[in-house]
Structure formats: structure tokens, C-alpha cells
Amino acid sequence: AEYMGTVNSGICMGIDTARFVAEPVAPEFLCPICTEVLDDPIQTLCEHYFCRSCIITALQHRSQCPIDRRPQLPSDLTPLPRGMRSQYERLLIYCINRERGCDHVLALSALAAHEGSCEFGELKCSYGGCLETVLRKNFDDHRTNCEWRPIQCSFGCGTVCPYRSATSHSSICHLRPVECPNSCGQMIPSNSLTQHLAEVCPRGIVNCRVDGCAFSGERGDENIWNVHNTSEATNHVAILSQELKKLKERGIDQVRFNQEVRESLQSIQRQAVAAHERAERADQTANRSLATAAAAAPAPQRVSQHSLTFTAIAHILCMFFRFHSRHPLVPIAHIIPPLRVALWESELLWFCVFWCCQWRTSLTNVALTERGTASNDG
């Protein structure tokens, strides 16, 4: 009894005996665990009958039959014998929706199919946000009138919102119609109201189309504009004449300006052409000079664009060597920092060094010759 109570305190439950037409139900169709009519019945090795969920839950607590304590595993469970199964499926039972109005009495084998389509069955609304549960026969009406049903904006903006939020959306929709503030009688989409007032509204106040005329009136009042155009015709002609005169003067000034611009462009173009021709002549002269120098030289040498600069540097160094023939190269470079930078950073470094060495050698030879001459004279 203690074991039965432990199992029966779970979620296991068969079919309520009160739902069956023939009461009491035969004992062999009652589950020993939940004491209700068998639901999805199954048989143990020792031929005891239980609800499937009841016996599986019991075997999870203890691997033995709850009736005779014989060893039993879930894998050993088998369906009811054919004869027993046939009697079980012929039991008559009321629909589970009997209390809601369904009076169907049917065999247990047909119960599942009927309850799946019973019009008194309860269904939960499928619209997001709706928590109502309604009878199947009323389900279509509920979906039609549910406050959470999605609807499109009636003004055509394309927004889809729940029916209950349609009013709040309508108050902010940019296509909601609003009455013209000028009382012209038209309903205008809210996002087009500014354009309507500025360009279309017949009650809008506009200025005379003649620039300079101070008159203004309603756009759609033809009588006012006819009277104004008739009475102010002379004034309009005078204003237009002044504007035409200004346009002519502006046109003359524009022509003069355009002529000056063209002349300036032509002058610049002539100067550019002359400068280009001078540059070409200078290049030709330089090329001829280089060709002549190359032909006169004993051996062809590559002339660098910095050759003149560093020839001057070499001459300056030679002058210093004339007065400081006994001093090394580095102190002289320190004495003349700009020449040091040019010397060590130039691509003609070794060219300058070569000429300096040649000059120093020549000075040494001259000094030795003078010394020898003095010795001979002595």
C-alpha cells in the first residue's frame, strides 16, 4: 500500500470511471496503480494490466511488478492480448466535452478521433497577445472579432498592427487625412498639408505674379484677380518695362564680361605658347652644348644635372687645399659645414673626392720640385 501511494502521488492518471456509460467498469479494466480505467493499457510478464504511464513510472522507482513483486523491466512490457484489447475498445464512454454541451456517446476506440474535431473542444487563440480560450465552434467568430487580430492601416501606409492599437496608430499615421486649416473643404494627407497650403489651396493667400506688385489675395478667387489685373494694368506694364530694361543692361554687361574673359584667355594662351617655345629653344641649345662638350672630351662621360654645382664645390676645396695642403680632409669639412653637407649627401661625393685628391697630389709634387731646386742652388 505504501508503494502504491508513492506512485499514485505522481502525474499518472487513467480515464475517469464516471465518464463510462456502463458503471461499474469490469475490474480487469481498472489500473491497480491509479484505480481508474486503463489509459493506453499494457501488460507485464506476470499478466497484470496497467496504464502505460503508470507502470513505467512505477518501474523507474523499483524494477518489479507492483502486484506480485516479480522482477520486471520496461523492455519486458507487451500490449494487451487481442481478446482483452477488443473488449477494452468496445467500452462506451461520454465525450470529455460533455459538460460544455457535447452529448456524444461512442466506443473507446473512436474517442480520440472525435475529441480531435469536437465542436465543444477548447482552442487557444493563435494571435499573439491574446490569452483567451474558446470553443472550437466559436473559434472562427473569435478570430474575426479578436482585439489582437492584425489589420492593415486603413490610410494605406502599409503598417500592420493589432486591431486594438489601430486607433492610436491612426492618430499618428503620416497619411491620415486632416482638414485644411484654410477651410477650403478638402481633406489632405498630413504629410502633404504643407505642399497643399503652399501650392494648391484655393483659400491660400498669394502675391501678385508680377514681381514688384504688392497686391495679394486668395489663390482661387478669380474675381479678385480679374479686377486687380484690370485696374493695375498700367502699373504692371511699368514694372515689367523696368525689369526688361534691367535685363537688357544685365545682358550688355554680361556680353562685355564674356568678351573680356575671352581676351584674357587668349592672352594667357599666347604667353603659354611663347614660354613653351622658349623652353624648347633652351633645351635645344643645352643639348647642342652638351654634344659639343662630349665630342671635345677625351673620353665620354655622363654629365649629371648637379655637375656644375659640384664642380664649384671642388674648386672651393682646391682653394682650401692650397692654403692647408698639410691638413686632412675632415677638418676642412668641419670648417665649412654647408660644404660638408653637400659633400657627404651628394650623388657626386666620390667625384669631388677624386678631384681633391688629384689637386693635393699636384701640390705635393710642386712642393717637392721647389725643394729639390733650392737644394741644387745651395
Residue type, 275: A
The rounded distance, in Å, linking the Cα atoms of 128 and 228 is 64
Interhelix angle 337-345/349-377, rounded to 10 degrees, is: 120
pLDDT tens for 57-116 read: 999 988 989 988 999 898 889 999 998 899 999 999 999 999 889 999 999 899 989 989
> Strand pairing partners for 218?
205
Alpha carbon 295 to chain centroid distance?
A: 72
Task: State pTM to two decimals.
Answer: 0.45
Beta bridge partners of 134: 123
| Whole-number pLDDT of residue 3 | 38
pLDDT, residue 355, reads 58
User: What are the φ and ψ backbone dihedral angles of 50, each rounded to 5 degrees?
Assistant: -140, 160
Partners of 160 in beta bridges:
152
Q: Which residues contact 14 (CB under 8 A, 6 or more apart)?
A: 30, 31, 34, 35, 36, 37, 38, 39, 51, 54
Task: Look at residue 295 in the predicted model and tell me its pLDDT.
Answer: 74
- What span, in angstroms and rounded, lies between the C-alpha atoms of 38 and 157? 59
User: What pLDDT does 8 receive?
Assistant: 41
Residue 260 CA to residue 267 CA, distance in Å, equals 11
Separation CA 29–CA 49 (nearest Å): 8
Q: What is the SS3 string spanning 173-218?
A: CCCCEEECCCCCCCEEEHHHHHHHHHHHCCCCEEECCCCCCCCEEE
For the chain, residues with pLDDT lower than 50 are: 1-10, 299-308, 323-324, 326-335, 338-348
